[in-house]
Amino acid sequence: MSWKKSLQEMPLHIMLIPGVILTLIFSYVPIAGIVIAFQNFKPAKGIFESKWIGFENFEYMLNMPNFTSILWNTVFIAVLKIIAGLIVPIVAALLLNEVASAFFKRTVQTIIYFPHFLSWVILGGILIDILSPSSGLVNQFLGLFGFEPTFFLGDDRWFPYTLVISDTWKHFGYGTIVYLAALTGIDQSLYEAAVVDGADRWKQTLHVTLPGMMPIITLMTVLSLGNVLNAGFEQVFNLYSPMVYSTGDIIDTFVYRIGLIDAQYGVATAVGLFKSVISFGLIVLSNKLASTYAGYRVF
Amino acid sequence: MHKLSMGRKVFLVVNYTLLFFAALACILPLINVLAISFSAKAAAAAGYVKLWPVDFTLSSYQYALSKPEFLDGFFVSVERVALGFGVNMLLTVLTAYPLAKERTSFRTRHIYAWFFIVTMLFNGGLIPTYMTIKETGLLDSIWALVLPGAVPVFNVILLMNFFRNLPKEIEEAALIDGAGHWRILWQIFVPLSLPAIATVTLFTVVHHWNSWFDGLIYMNSPANYPLQSYLQTIIITPELNAVSGNELLDMNEVSDRTFKAAQVFLASLPVLLLYPFLQKFFMKGLVMGSVKG
C-alpha cells in the first residue's frame, strides 16, 4: 500500500518545503555562482555574458606576491588557535571537576561562558581599549612589573599571538561544556574501584578520568582539522590594521578586500573557492578519521 | 569526614585560585569598560580608571542615547532579532521534526538530510553570496539579514537529536489516538523539548543581535545599519567616519573613549540580561542535543 504510506508522509514533505526553498535560493544559488571564479566577471555583463577564462584567476592568485604570506598567516593563526582551543578547555574542565562547592563551580562556569556570547565588534571595542599602549588596563598592569608598554594590536610580531590569546579567552569557557559533559558520563564505579586499589586523586585522573575523556578529545581534535584554513574572519577584521597586514592578513580578510573593496570579483571568488575546496577536503578527511579512531560519524 | 592529605589541600587551594583568576580574566575587561563609561573624560584620558568609575557621570550615556544613529541602529537590531527569531525558530522546528523520523516512516529523509548538511560543508563564499542577495533585490532591506540564514542547520541538528531522544512510545500512542504529524509536533514534541528550544532560542537571539558583517555589506544606507554594524563603523574603523573626530571635541564632558565604552556596554546589555535566564537551560539542552546519551 505505497500510496497510503505516501499520504502519511505528505505532512512531513509540507513541513520541509519552506526550508528547502529558502536553502535553494540562499545556499545553492551562491554555490552555482562559484562559476565566476572561472570568468573575467564584469557585473554589468553578469554571469551569462562574462568571458570564460579557465584557470587564469587561479594562476593570478598563485602569482600574487603576498599570497604565500597570507596562506602562511592563515594556517599559523588557525593551528595555534586549534591547539590552544583544545588544551585550555580540557584543563578547565578537569579543574572544575575537582571543585566540591556547587556554588563556586556554577559561578565560575557562568562567568567563563559569557564572553562567547558577545560579538567581535563589542570585544574588539573592549580589546582595543584595554590593550592600548597608553591608557589600557593590560599595559598598566604589566607596567607594575616593569614591562615597557606593548602595542599588541599594532605590532606585527605580537599581533598573531594577541589573536590566539583573545580567541582562546573568548571561547574556552564555552568549550569546557563538552568536556564537562563527557566527565559526567564516566562510570562512577571505576572511581570506586580505583580508590579500593589505592589510587589517589592524581592517579584517578590519570587512569580513569583521562581515558574516559579520550573518545571526546579524539573527536574534537579530529573535527578541528577542518578549521585549518579558518583563522577567524570576524575577529581579525575587527582587530587588524594595515600596520599588521604582514602577519595578520588571512584568506578571508584578503577576499573581502580584493572582492568587495577592489571589486575584483573573479579573483576573490577564486581565492575563496581555493579555501573552500581545501577545507571541504579536510572536513571529509576528518570525518573519516573520526569514524576510524573515535567511532563517531558526524555525517 | 576523612582527613585531606597535605598534597590534596595544596592542590585544592591552587585549583580554586586558578579558577578564580580564570573567571576574573573573563569579567575584568568588561568591568573596566563599564567603569570607563561612567567616568569623566579627564580621568579616562589620564588612565586613572581601573575597575571603579572616577568622577562618576552619566554624560556618555546621555550623549549615546541622544544620538539618532545609535537609536536607529538599536531599533533596526530589535526588528532584526524579532523577525529573525520568528523565522529561524519556525523553520528549525519544522525542519527538525521530519528529519528526526526514522527512514522506515519517512522514506526520503536521507535525501533531505543531505540537502541541508551540504550547506554546512560547502558554500558559495563571500562574492557569489553577495551577488545572490543583490539579484534577489534584498539589498538595503531587513530581509537581507533574515532570509539568507533562515534555516540554521546546526540548530536543526541539535533539535533533531533532541527529538530523537524522546521516548518513541509517546508518538506511537498519539498516532493510535488519531493525532497527525502537525498535532504531534506542536502539542507533544515542542512542549517536551523546552530545554533544547531554550538553547536554540539563546543561540538565535544572540546570533541576530551580534551579527554585524551582513549589515555592513548588505545595507547601502548607514541609516539601515543594525546597532552592531553601526558600532563596527565607529568603534573599530573610526577613520572611515567623520563623526568621531571633530564633533566630539565640542563635547565638554564626553571623550571618544568614554563614549565608545558607553556604547559597548549598551550594546551588550540585552545579551547580559537574557543570558542568566537561558543559561541554566543550555547546558542540558546542548548536551542532550549533541552527545547521544
Chain A partners of B106 at a C-beta cutoff of 8 Å? 9, 12
In angstroms, the Cα distances linking A184 to A93, A179, A187, B152, B190 are 11, 9, 8, 29, 27
The domain tally of chain A equals 1
Whose CA is closest to A177, among B280, B18, B15?
Answer: B280
| Domain assignment of residue A24, yes or no | no
Boundaries of domain holding A275 = 49-294
Please indicate whether, in this complex, the C-beta atoms of A11 and B287 are within 8 angstroms of each other: no
pTM of the model: 0.90
Please indicate whether, in this complex, the C-beta atoms of B228 and A178 are within 8 angstroms of each other: no
Per the CB < 8 A criterion, the answer to whether A22 and B188 are in contact is: no
Per the CB < 8 A criterion, the answer to whether A77 and A250 are in contact is: yes
CATH topology of domain B60-290: MetI-like fold (1.10.3720)
The overall average pLDDT reported for chain A is 91
Q: What is the ipTM of this complex?
A: 0.89
| Domain assignment of residue A257, yes or no | yes
Render pLDDT for A175-206 as a digit per residue (tens, 0 to 9): 998 898 888 888 889 999 999 998 888 889 89
Please indicate whether, in this complex, the C-beta atoms of A9 and B106 are within 8 angstroms of each other: yes
Render pLDDT for A88-147 as a digit per residue (tens, 0 to 9): 999 999 999 999 898 999 899 989 999 999 999 999 999 999 998 888 899 989 999 999
Average pLDDT, integer, range A261-270: 93
Indicate which CATH number applies to the domain containing A230.
1.10.3720.10
* DSSP letters for A35-89: GGGGEE--TTTHHHHSEE-TTHHHHHHHH-TTHHHHHHHHHHHHHHHHHHHHHHH
Q: CA A4, CA B183: separation in Å to the nearest integer?
A: 19
Render pLDDT for B126-153 as a digit per residue (tens, 0 to 9): 999 999 999 999 999 999 999 999 999 9
Render pLDDT for B23-46 as a digit per residue (tens, 0 to 9): 999 999 999 999 999 988 888 888
B148 touches chain A (CB under 8 A): yes
B276 touches chain A (CB under 8 A): yes
| Domain assignment of residue A175, yes or no | yes
> What's the gap in Å between the CA of A243 and the closest CA on chain B?
14
Q: CA B128, CA B112: separation in Å to the nearest integer?
A: 24
Domain coordinates of chain B in residue numbers?
Answer: 60-290
Q: CA B191, CA B183: separation in Å to the nearest integer?
A: 12
> What's the gap in Å between the CA of B240 and the closest CA on chain A?
13
Please indicate whether, in this complex, the C-beta atoms of B128 and A118 are within 8 angstroms of each other: no
Per the CB < 8 A criterion, the answer to whether B156 and B92 are in contact is: yes
Q: Which residue in A128, A181, A238 is closest to B287 by CB distance?
A: A181
